[in-house]
Structure 1
């Protein structure tokens, strides 16, 4: 059984309302030691995420124009309205979290596998995912650090699951587990059984690696002929 987000997520979530001020969210990130938080409406729906990068857009914009007292000209504001200045300009002028946040937020659900959650983080280059229920309300948050918790499973627990996962018609497999590394040994009747046993062990959450020390009596793997080029 694969681990889901519900088994590793944090339910005590640091979040902020969309109406909060720039100063409020800056203080929140600093005091709680986090780099980003979900942004919620009054009904706890996730609207976006505000991060340190979003807040730094204001400082970056000031440096770009060489002065803390710079205010964009009317022409620049008009160009921004037309879309030529980009989202960084908007965030530089933002005063509330709703104006500063990145939206929409990439989210996940409690029933999502940790593998899929990891893929989402990798795809979008983010470090955390707000976890929402069927109505889009916040129920937790999962980070990269949370996802690697699956590799902290007890060796005895992994060994038990390997034993349960390998089919009963594949007898003779000896299983040992040390710090998440599974070693399969013994002699099986067929080569295909050995391949199946290794692949099933590799698919189990928390398995760091599988050492294949299996032998077999009969090689039942069909080897297709290799045809040379014309």
Structure 2
């Protein structure tokens, strides 16, 4: 019985929605809601992926909205503290973005 390995294009989303580095927090949230996705690639120049903004990247802003961490907590959670103050995709994104070709095997 022959087995053909599945490739990335078999399981990937065909229509990709993205944002630019300067996209604002509200635009990112609205785009995720509109397209029902949990993450967006951040593009620069001629479509080069420079990072990814996911729901997890947005959570610190919501968490710290109602919680004022003391200095020790801020130091312990530097990355979350930084993201809580972020305004744009460039400040929120996880980077570097790891990418693969559509014909790569799973």
TM-score (normalizing by structure 2): 0.80
Aligned to 2:37: 34
More strand by share: 1
Aligned to 1:219: none
Provide the rounded CA distance (Å) in 2 between the counterparts of 1:55 and 1:31: 16
Is 1:47 the equivalent of 2:50?
A: yes
Provide the rounded CA distance (Å) in 2 between the counterparts of 1:49 and 1:20: 12
In structure 1, the gaps of 5 or more residues are: 67-71, 115-230
Counterpart of 1:113 in 2: which secondary structure?
coil
Matches within 5 A, 1:190-209: none
Give 1:96 shift: 0.5
Provide the rounded CA distance (Å) in 2 between the counterparts of 1:56 and 1:36: 12
Q: Which has the higher contact order (CA 8 A, sep 6+)?
A: 2
Residues 85 and 10 (structure 1 numbering): CA distance in 2 closer, same or farther, change over 3 Å?
closer
Is 1:106 the equivalent of 2:103?
A: no
**What RMSD over aligned residues (CA atoms) do the two structures have, in Å?**
2.2
Residues 7 and 33 (structure 1 numbering): CA distance in 2 closer, same or farther, change over 3 Å?
closer
- How many residue pairs were aligned? 101
Aligned to 1:190: none
Provide the rounded CA distance (Å) in 2 between the counterparts of 1:103 and 1:87: 12
TM-score (normalizing by structure 1): 0.40
Aligned to 2:10: 7
In structure 2, the gaps of 5 or more residues are: none
